[in-house]
Amino acid sequence: MKWHWTRKALKILVIATVAITVITVVVMTLWNWLIPPLFRGPALTFWQTLGLLVLAKILGKVLFRGRPGPPPWAWRRRMMERWDQMTPEEREEFRQGLKTRSGRFDPPESQR
């Protein structure tokens, strides 16, 4: 069983290394093809390009942490809290309100 996890970890490591290498070479090629002729910028080596990608990733996480506000699943927690505070009559009224708004909440004909 231990050998299985070692093989899996090694496989993931190889795939990640190949992916990072390919991405770095693609970015380096595009940079060296566009930037020096257009803006008289420097040509980059493989390691400079890799460092630039790491820097961009770090700055992207620091500057752009995602959209502000609650997480997208927070509505479910709020709804469950509201549901817990409802009486059985209020719950049934809520269900009836859902049924009148959209037919997709109705049970199938065989279950009625």
Neighbours of 50 (CB within 10 A): 18
C-alpha 99 chain-centroid distance: 34
Cβ within 8 Å of residue 92, ≥6 positions away: none
- With tokens 């080596």, the residue in question is 45
Domain range summary for the chain, segments of one domain joined by + = 2-63, 74-106
Q: Per the structure block, which two tokens stand in for 75? A: 């509505």
What is the mean pLDDT of each successive set of 10 residues along the chain, which is 112 residues long?
Answer: 85 96 97 95 96 92 71 81 91 84 56 50
pTM above 0.75, yes or no: no
What's the Cα-to-Cα distance from 51 to each of 2, 31, 45, 59, 63, rounded to whole Å?
A: 35, 14, 10, 12, 18
pLDDT at 107: 55
